[in-house]
């Protein structure tokens, strides 16, 4: 079969890497299309090499505002679909890239398989991750749900039951594989002197970045906890927010904070996470990684589309107020029993065999991937 893997962000590259490797192992023709949504070298080129996957066959180089990115993807990906004539396009998650790739494929009558389908918060958010994932699902022929909750949410929206499959999350495949590699090849702890208590921090969601009140609480908590050592993995949007709200110099110069541009290598980031006593983040993928790697996680949000990690006890939503963040962080770092309980929880996102399950399903549906309405039989 010919399979297009279509994505365009660092997080999606990490989660799609196991699928690309699985496709290669099985002898399928795998075509990688990169939207260009992330284009900084730290988020892109070195990452592919570190993940040990081929660099993209196509780079659409979509730039600009969200509508501009979408317009470029829609036009260019239609051309790619017509040229390559794939059996299926695999998209991932809740990004703009996933939404527009899914639409372009579906409108080109190419079946879409949505990896991480059914992520729902049912909350009203100022940045449209929920719009993106729902649109991707609306375009899909196969739904690869990570959890039973995701399956139930899809069913509640009348997605076809026979096309929904609970397969786990491919980030578990990636995290387990690369955690082993990180211990062997990463030298990041030689570059940065890590002292405990040590917290790995990453915050980049637009719903936080767009709010001065939220970011004042989040940045302020970092500066207040002088007895805690932080490694801050800084994405471009995070740096812009720090500058916009007047925290950039304070964070960069604080002796207990390592304020570092997002690490190019996934293995380096994993190495620091594995070394940490706690991860403080608003990233959905990191919530899943922490559950898989048994690292206590606190989420800088009021609601999460990864509630399974909260229900399991591996994660807590702590909001964005400085006082509560400080209280929760100190509560974990100062209580070994609580930290041990979080580390000991069962991972709700699978066993690291998600990619194999997805390919089993794709192969089973070969020749039957198109979307057709069901014939309704009228009773005599």
Positions marked catalytic: 204
Residues with Cβ within 8 Å of residue 363, at least 6 apart in sequence: 1, 26
Residues with Cβ within 8 Å of residue 191, at least 6 apart in sequence: none
The three-state secondary structure class of 116 is strand
Q: CB 346: neighbour CB atoms within 10 A? A: 9
Q: Are 104 and 58 in contact (CB under 8 A)?
A: no
Nearest C-alpha neighbor of 206 from the set 290, 138, 301, 122: 301
Report the side by side order of strands in the sheet with 142-145: 58-59, 29-34, 2-7, 88-92, 112-117, 142-145, 164-166
C-alpha 91/C-alpha 89 separation (Å) is 6
DSSP 292: H
The three-state secondary structure class of 7 is strand
């Amino acid at each position: 079969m010919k399979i297009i893997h279509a994505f365009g962000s660092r997080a999606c590259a990490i989660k799609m890497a196991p699928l690309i490797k699985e496709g290669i192992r099985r002898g399928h023709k795998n075509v990688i299309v990169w939207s260009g949504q992330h284009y900084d070298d730290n988020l892109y080129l070195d990452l592919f090499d570190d993940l040990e996957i081929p660099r993209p066959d196509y780079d659409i180089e979509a730039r600009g505002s969200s509508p501009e990115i979408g317009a470029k993807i829609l036009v260019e990906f239609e051309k790619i679909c017509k040229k390559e004539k794939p059996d299926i396009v695999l998209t991932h998650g809740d990004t703009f890239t996933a939404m527009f790739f899914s639409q372009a494929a579906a409108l080109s009558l190419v079946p879409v398989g949505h990896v991480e389908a059914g992520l729902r918060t049912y909350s009203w958010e100022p940045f449209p991750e929920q719009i993106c994932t729902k649109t991707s699902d609306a375009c899909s022929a196969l739904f690869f749900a990570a959890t039973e909750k995701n399956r139930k949410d899809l069913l509640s929206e009348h997605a076809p039951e026979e096309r929904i499959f609970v397969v786990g999350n491919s980030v578990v495949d990636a995290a387990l594989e690369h955690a082993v590699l990180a211990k062997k090849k990463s030298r990041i702890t030689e570059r940065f002197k890590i002292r405990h208590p040590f917290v790995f921090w990453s915050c980049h969601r637009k719903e936080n970045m767009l709010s001065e009140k939220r970011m004042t609480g989040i940045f302020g908590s970092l500066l207040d906890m002088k007895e805690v050592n932080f490694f801050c993995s800084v994405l471009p949007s995070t740096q812009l927010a720090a500058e916009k709200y007047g925290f950039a110099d304070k964070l960069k110069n604080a002796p207990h904070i390592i304020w570092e541009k997002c690490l190019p290598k996934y293995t380096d980031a994993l190495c620091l996470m594995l070394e940490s006593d706690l991860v403080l983040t608003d990233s959905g993928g990191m919530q899943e990684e922490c559950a898989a790697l048994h690292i206590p996680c606190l989420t800088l949000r009021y609601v999460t589309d990864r509630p399974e990690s909260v229900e399991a006890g591996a994660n807590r939503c702590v909001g964005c107020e400085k006082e509560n963040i400080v209280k929760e962080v100190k509560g974990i770092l100062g209580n070994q029993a609580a930290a041990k309980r979080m580390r000991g929880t069962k991972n709700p996102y699978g066993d690291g065999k998600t990619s194999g399950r997805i390919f089993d399903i794709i192969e089973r549906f070969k020749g039957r991937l198109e979307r057709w309405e069901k014939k309704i039989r009228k009773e005599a």
